[in-house]
Amino acid sequence: MEERRLGPVVGVGTWNTFGGDDELAVDVVGAALGAGSTLFDSSPMYGNAERSLSRAFEGRRERVAVATKIWAPTTEQGRAQYDAQLGWYGRVEVEQVHNLVSWRDHVGWLGEEREAGRIGRLGVTHYAPSAFQDLAEALRTGLFQTVQVPYNPLERECGHALLPLAAELGIAVIVMRPLGEGELLERPPADEELHPLREFGVETWPQALLKWALSDDRVDMVIPATRNPLHAAQNALAGDSPWFGPKERALVERLANA
């Protein structure tokens, strides 16, 4: 695998989903894996989602990858979060500094952990366009291999400067909020409006939105969150080619804005 690329692929987000509900986590992880999604994004901020994920990984750790986060104002607190993660997962495939919190303090010791082989890639995340300049500054250090930002037809700010910078620097892009936290699903288009997208393997409006993001070749991964195993399985299918061209992406944008 080329160093930058993580995808294009569909992962699974865990914010507001099964924090603490281990049985639900087992069902969602099982359905996602069965349909081809193997990476799960979490954070110490997401209630007990990290712990629930670890329970759901039991017996299949070698088949899954975890992208989790350090969300801590001090190195001491960050190391405590990381120790818990190593206890749950043994290693962390993608370790991200959540919302850039104290990133300059964390990047040194996280880099040492990566050197030691317990972390696969280091990343940074932020949900707010007002923080994108700071994100860019972090990326320019060359210390991070992934960046996580929101990107959907109604939130395209990262497309102006951040996605080009990530592409230039060879940094993998993970898309949070690909379904607009569910807002984009409130008034779905009629079935016939999705007809031109059928030949791209799209059967549902969420799949159209996920494929919209993945068809931007600066994007590596989308991580839709779900509590519903059926949704996890349907979402995974949006990670298969063929990819949309400009015409199909423009159609999805029109439908999202209708």
Interface with ligand NAP (CB under 6 A):
13-16, 41, 125, 127, 176-182, 185, 206, 223-228, 231, 234-235
* Helix axes 205-214 and 229-236, enclosed angle (nearest 10): 40
* Shorter beta-carbon distance to ligand NAP: residue 12 or 165: 12
Who contacts 30 (Cβ-Cβ below 8 Å, separation ≥6)?
56, 229
Q: Residue of minimal CB distance from ligand NAP?
A: 13
Q: What are phi and psi of 95, to 5 degrees?
A: -110, 120
* Shorter beta-carbon distance to ligand NAP: residue 41 or 216: 41
Shortest spacing between CB 5 and ligand NAP, in angstroms: 20
| C-beta separation of 237 from 8 below 8 A | no
| C-beta separation of 180 from 222 below 8 A | no
Sign, Cα dihedral of 59, 223, 15, 27: negative
* Shorter beta-carbon distance to ligand NAP: residue 47 or 78: 47
Shortest spacing between CB 56 and ligand NAP, in angstroms: 15
* Shorter beta-carbon distance to ligand NAP: residue 147 or 165: 147
Shortest spacing between CB 116 and ligand NAP, in angstroms: 26
Shortest spacing between CB 124 and ligand NAP, in angstroms: 11
| C-beta separation of 220 from 172 below 8 A | yes
Shortest spacing between CB 112 and ligand NAP, in angstroms: 25
Q: How many residues are present in the chain?
A: 258
* Shorter beta-carbon distance to ligand NAP: residue 36 or 142: 36
Distances (CA, A) of 76 to 26, 81, 85, 235, 254: 31, 9, 14, 38, 48
Instruction: Name residue 124's beta-bridge partners.
Output: 97, 147
* Shorter beta-carbon distance to ligand NAP: residue 15 or 109: 15
Shortest spacing between CB 27 and ligand NAP, in angstroms: 12
